Amino acid sequence: MSRDSGVTFDHVRRACYEILSRGERPSRPTVQELLATDRYIGRKGGNELVQNLINDFWTSMSKTLQVPERTVDGVPAAFVPVIDKALGDMVAVARQIAAEEMADRAAALDARAREIESSIQEARDSALAADQLRVRAEGELSAVQSRASELKASLNEAERKLAEESGKVAAHQKTIEGKDAELQRQFASLEAANRTLEQATEQHRQETHRLMQQLDNERLASRKETQRLTDQLDKSREETAAVREDLAVLREEVGRLRAENVAGTAARKVQEDALTEAKVRLDDAMTRLQAAQQEATTMRVRYETADQHRQEAVSRSTSQAEELGELRQAVEQLQADLTLARKPRPKEEKGS
């Protein structure tokens, strides 16, 4: 990147005003020193460019001096605008510098606060970890103490078992000595048995030789028997050929019978289908007959029920007719009594 990149007239003008505010005269080294700080562009810039921009600054200042705008008592009129402009720029630059310094200080304070908070958190974490380590160490110490107690008990038990094992080893040593004597006796017995085994082996060898001779004789006899069986096999093959010819004839006969069987099967299939259809029809007829019987039974039950109802109605009608006759007789009797009651008596007629 070029040294002159980023260097503008505004940067140089701000640097010149800052130098003037300190009561110094702006020069190229002092301006470049300010430009190289972080508050500006961080680079000095080219000597020629910076010097030209400083000259432009003085030219602009001289142009400002040529156009006075107001007058101040005790101050030449030509310098009033320059002073006003310089003071305004100085105030703006001072404000900007103060704001930047305040921002830097605030950022530094925030960073410091975050560092302090992180330190406090780390201290808390360290204290918590230390507390946890202390608790863990106490637990481990208790476990180690209990383990030490267990080891002491195990050591005592091991010493006791060692004493017992020592006694057992001494007893085993005596037993081993007795076993050694017993083994010596057994070895003597084994030697005697070995001699007996050698004698039996010799007898077995002789018996094997005899059996091998007998096997050779049997092999010769089996060869003769094999020749006889071979002759019988040839004869059987001839008979088999004749049987095969008869079998071919039988196969032809079987094929014809199978064809006839297939035809008979087809006819039987037709008859079975007809029989099945007849059975289906018969089942249908039986079903309808059963339904008709059920309907007839239902109608019979209904008829009997209706007949019972009719008989009950007839009996009720008869009872009602009898009651009606009795009522009629009672009414007639009442009418007769009423008629008699309405007729005048003879004595009453005479008196009247």
**Structure confidence at residue 352 (pLDDT):** 44
Span 246-283, pLDDT tens digits: 878 878 886 887 888 788 788 788 878 877 886 888 78
- 0.85 surpassed by pTM: no
Answer yes or no: is pLDDT of 351 > 60.
no
Instruction: Map tokens 């110490």 to a residue.
Output: 141
Q: How far is CA 185 from the centre of its chain?
A: 74
Evaluate whether 11 touches 86 at the Cβ level (below 8 Å): no
Output the pLDDT for position 76.
67
Q: Phi/psi zone of residue 154: left (φ > 0), alpha (ψ -120 to 50 degrees), beta?
A: alpha
pLDDT at 307 > cutoff 60: yes
Task: Specify the higher pLDDT residue, 282 or 69.
Answer: 282
Residue 244 Cα distances to 24, 230, 247, angstroms = 142, 21, 5
pLDDT at position 204 over 70: yes
* Count of CB atoms situated within 10 Å of the CB of 330: 10
29, pLDDT greater than 90? yes
* pLDDT tier for residue 303 given thresholds of 50, 70 and 90: confident
CA of 61: how far to CAs of 22, 73, 85, 228, in Å? Answer: 18, 22, 9, 149
Question: In the block, which residue shows the tokens 């096997």?
Answer: 215
Distances (CA, A) of 64 to 76, 89, 91, 153, 278: 14, 13, 18, 105, 135
Q: What is the distance between the alpha carbons of residues 55 and 148, in angstroms, rounded to a whole number? A: 92
Express as a percent the part of the chain with pLDDT over 70: 87
pLDDT digits (tens, 9 = 90+) for 318-327: 888 888 888 8
How many other CB atoms sit within 10 Å of the CB of residue 13? 20
Q: Tell me the average pLDDT across 93-112.
A: 81
- Average pLDDT over all residues of the chain: 80
First to last CA, the chain: 172
Mean pLDDT of 2-26: 83
Identify the pLDDT of residue 176: 73
Coil, strand or helix: which one is 75?
strand
Taking every pair of Cα atoms in the chain, the longest distance, rounded to a whole number of angstroms, is 185
Predicted local distance difference test score (pLDDT) of residue 84: 66
Summarize pLDDT for 154-178 with one digit per residue, the tens: 888 878 888 888 788 778 788 878 7
* Cα–Cα distance measured from residue 126 to residue 11, given in angstroms and rounded to the nearest whole number: 50
Given a cut of 60, whether residue 347 has pLDDT beyond it is no
92-101, 251-260, 279-288 — which is least confidently predicted?
Answer: 92-101
Lowest-confidence pick of 73-77, 78-82, 205-209 = 73-77
The structure tokens 């007996």 sit at 196
